[in-house]
A and B are shown apart, each in its own frame.
Chain A
Amino acid sequence: MASYYVTLSYWDLALASVLVLIDAGLSLIFGLKIHRNLLIAAIRMSVQLTLIGLVLTALFSLVSPLWTGLAVLAMILFAGQEVMQRQDRRLSGWWSFGLGTGCMMMASVLVTAFALLTAIRPSPWYDPRYAIPLLGMILGNCMTGIALGLNTLTTSLMLRRSSVEAQLMLGATRWDAAAPVTRDALRSALMPTINSMSATGLVSLPGMMTGQILSGVPPVEAVKYQILVMFLIAGGTGFGAVAAVLGGVYRLTDARHRLRLDRLTAAQPI
């Protein structure tokens, strides 16, 4: 299968960046005061992507399990930090970073390894050309799901404290008393994945599929990859969210079936 793609020159990118400059001009005209942030964000994005391009080039040429593993670990740690920052109320101590990061690591590594060992089967199986982009897509969605799930859990437990405590007082176990809140949190976590699967192909063409088509892959093959990735994302987000939300319930209650909201920090300023 011959693949063909149009290479871009830096001049092409410079031309496209004029659109961002027009946005900045609109901000000035309408007094939106976002031109500075817009330009900084555009520059950051360009620098970050250029750097990651260089890192990926080095990783792809090395094909080393150690360096691939380290890159994966770095991605997971950054995602963990992001999950923590998206919480209105955080779990106290190491749980705040550890729960989201641990669950993301478990879910995204398991699902990526599953795809690499069954469907894609590159040689070697940890080939960073496949492992890193695949993990990145799964991790990004896991991160959103886990952040939403944990945030819904902690917010709902605060709001519905009296109803949870009423059930505990009447002899319900901590899992039974927190069941409605747990269900809400898991629904929130999985809703973006369900919405994205429903809209894909009708409302949006996913970036990965579009990228493959632009680089010369026949649309039917690109679609197969996209369907595989959507299934992996759904699986990874599901596993990660269930683990994180149940871990959150475990931490916010105790073995004596008491609600332990004292293990949450105060609401973070927005």
Chain B
Amino acid sequence: MPAEPGWWAETVGEHFGNWTAAAAALGKLGFPEEAKSWPIARLSTGERLRLALVRALIVGPKALLLDEPTAALDLASVEAVESLIADRIWAGLAVLWVTHDAGQARRIARRQLVVEAGSVREEVGQWPVTTSP
């Protein structure tokens, strides 16, 4: 998922094949049921990022590449997104998460790779503590 996700239809609902499944995940990130008819153009950057995340999760991927998925989110949304992804990690999803937030890396990562002066240095991470299976 890129830092600026793309959209191919006018409204939120049109981006989800199965709205019922999407609505459950969207609810966890603070979207009401009527979000289905919201025009994409009206959404804030944070809302778009959260929607794009659910859109990516709903297709049941085996691996997820996330580029700063919480960069434009408020604190409550950051917690919700971290919790949602942590649940999926426990369920077996492989996630490569790019972040500038060292605290977030510590909370989420099982293994941290730090890019420093153009080279990759591995740091020992810890198992996510934000949620339990």
The residues of A with any CB-CB pair to B shorter than 8 Å are: 160-167, 169-171, 180
Instruction: Write the nearest CB–CB distance from B13 to chain A, whole angstroms.
Output: 15
Closest to B8 in A: A163
CB pair B56–A170 under 8 Å, yes or no, is yes
The interface residues of chain B lying within 8 Å CB-to-CB of A160 are 6, 8
CB pair B56–A167 under 8 Å, yes or no, is no
Rounded to whole angstroms, the CA-CA distance of A182 and B102 in the bound complex is 44
The interface residues of chain A lying within 8 Å CB-to-CB of B71 are none
Instruction: Write the nearest CB–CB distance from B65 to chain A, whole angstroms.
Output: 9
Rounded to whole angstroms, the CA-CA distance of A169 and B58 in the bound complex is 13
CB pair B5–A170 under 8 Å, yes or no, is no
CB pair B6–A164 under 8 Å, yes or no, is yes
Instruction: Write the nearest CB–CB distance from B22 to chain A, whole angstroms.
Output: 12
The interface residues of chain B lying within 8 Å CB-to-CB of A161 are 6
The residues of B with any CB-CB pair to A shorter than 8 Å are: 1-2, 4-8, 52, 55-56, 59, 61
Secondary structure call for the B interface:
loop
Closest to B58 in A: A170
Closest to B56 in A: A170
CB pair A169–B1 under 8 Å, yes or no, is yes
CB pair B7–A170 under 8 Å, yes or no, is no
CB pair A162–B59 under 8 Å, yes or no, is no
The interface residues of chain A lying within 8 Å CB-to-CB of B8 are 160, 163-164, 166-167, 180
10 nearest A-B residue pairs (beta carbon): A162-B6, A166-B6, A163-B8, A163-B6, A170-B59, A171-B59, A163-B7, A167-B8, A166-B5, A165-B6
**Total of A-B residue pairs, C-beta within 8 Å:** 30
A-B contacts besides A162-B4, A163-B8, 5 pairs, CB < 8 Å: A160-B6, A162-B5, A164-B8, A166-B7, A170-B59
The interface residues of chain A lying within 8 Å CB-to-CB of B5 are 162, 166
The interface residues of chain A lying within 8 Å CB-to-CB of B52 are 166
The interface residues of chain B lying within 8 Å CB-to-CB of A167 are 6, 8
Instruction: Write the nearest CB–CB distance from A44 to chain B, whole angstroms.
Output: 46
14 contacts between A and B (CB under 8 A): A162-B2, A162-B5, A162-B6, A162-B7, A163-B7, A163-B8, A164-B6, A164-B8, A166-B5, A166-B6, A166-B7, A167-B6, A170-B55, A170-B59
Instruction: Write the nearest CB–CB distance from A76 to chain B, whole angstroms.
Output: 37
Closest to A166 in B: B6
Rounded to whole angstroms, the CA-CA distance of A166 and B8 in the bound complex is 8
Closest to B65 in A: A169
Rounded to whole angstroms, the CA-CA distance of A169 and B8 in the bound complex is 13
The interface residues of chain A lying within 8 Å CB-to-CB of B55 are 170
Rounded to whole angstroms, the CA-CA distance of A160 and B6 in the bound complex is 8
Instruction: Write the nearest CB–CB distance from A179 to chain B, whole angstroms.
Output: 9
Q: Which of A160, A162, A167, A169 has the most CB of B within 10 A?
A: A169
Instruction: Write the nearest CB–CB distance from B94 to chain A, whole angstroms.
Output: 16
Instruction: Write the nearest CB–CB distance from A153 to chain B, whole angstroms.
Output: 16
Instruction: Write the nearest CB–CB distance from A77 to chain B, whole angstroms.
Output: 38
Rounded to whole angstroms, the CA-CA distance of A161 and B59 in the bound complex is 21
Rounded to whole angstroms, the CA-CA distance of A180 and B6 in the bound complex is 14
Instruction: Write the nearest CB–CB distance from A92 to chain B, whole angstroms.
Output: 24
The interface residues of chain B lying within 8 Å CB-to-CB of A170 are 55-56, 59
Rounded to whole angstroms, the CA-CA distance of A164 and B5 in the bound complex is 11
Closest to A170 in B: B59
Q: Which of B5, B8, B55, B61 has the most CB of A within 10 A?
A: B8
